[in-house]
Amino acid sequence: MVDAPVESPLALTRRARRTYRILAEHYPDARCELDFADPYQLLVATVLSAQTTDVRVNGVTPTLFARFPDAQALAAADRTEVETIVQPTGFFRAKTDSLLKLGAALVERFDGQVPGRLRDLVTLPGVGRKTANVVLGDAFGVPGITVDTHVGRLVRRFGWTTEEDPVKVEHEVGVLFPRREWTHLSHVLIFHGRRTCHARRPACGVCPVARLCPAYGIGETDPARAASLVRTGPRA
């Protein structure tokens, strides 16, 4: 058996960029699916999105933001009231704790404003590098690659990296694309991961980038059966 030729860095870059172009055309509406009006709202919504869906977060944030419209109000919030509002998102006690501490930290250290730098954001309670990149990319226009479970899964299936550590993934994928494309690349990959390239049963038979994917065949390859697996919107 002859081993497959090793892909050169240039060939990998070309394949990755072609994959992205095809997916971007396939998902022209790819965007952040959390509803927000300002950096504070996006930061809070992203913290709430852990271990749940954007649909559930969007279901509670209108009430949460009406009651606690800024960091000052959140810092002074009644714990029981916050828990009641965010309960549908799961892990509501831990999330409430993070939100109260987040509000206090924003007030005490940043005059109630969400900082626009990665090194400041990651010091906030409940905020890791993934959350920071979401806020930077969508609220401040600072390019970043958001390595959530979907992005990590897809870039390994695509053969863009073999790394498991999110920071290493971010670095290896980042060198394949111009920095200005990082935020939109993340949205496109998340859309594809949520709708077609699922963790357990990817719809390989209708995947628009099947011929560019080394992992083709790990999921359903029959077009009709694969089509039945495709989601048309975010998971509720």
Q: First CA to last CA across the chain, in angstroms?
A: 46
Of the residues 120, 130, 168, 222, only one is catalytic, namely 130
- Cβ atoms of 207 and 197 within 8 Å: the answer is yes
Radius of gyration of the chain (CA): 19
Taking 3-state DSSP, the helix, strand and coil percentages for the chain, each rounded to the nearest 5, stand at 60, 0, 40
Of the residues 148, 165, 168, 222, only one is catalytic, namely 148
Rounded CA separation 236/141 (Å): 28
Q: Which residue has the tokens 């029981």?
A: 80
Told to judge if 130 belongs to the known catalytic residues of this protein, a careful annotator would answer yes
- Cβ atoms of 83 and 96 within 8 Å: the answer is yes
Backbone angles phi, psi at 184, to 5 degrees: -70, -35
- Cβ atoms of 73 and 99 within 8 Å: the answer is no
Told to judge if 148 belongs to the known catalytic residues of this protein, a careful annotator would answer yes
- Cβ atoms of 63 and 85 within 8 Å: the answer is yes
Which residues are catalytically annotated? 130, 148
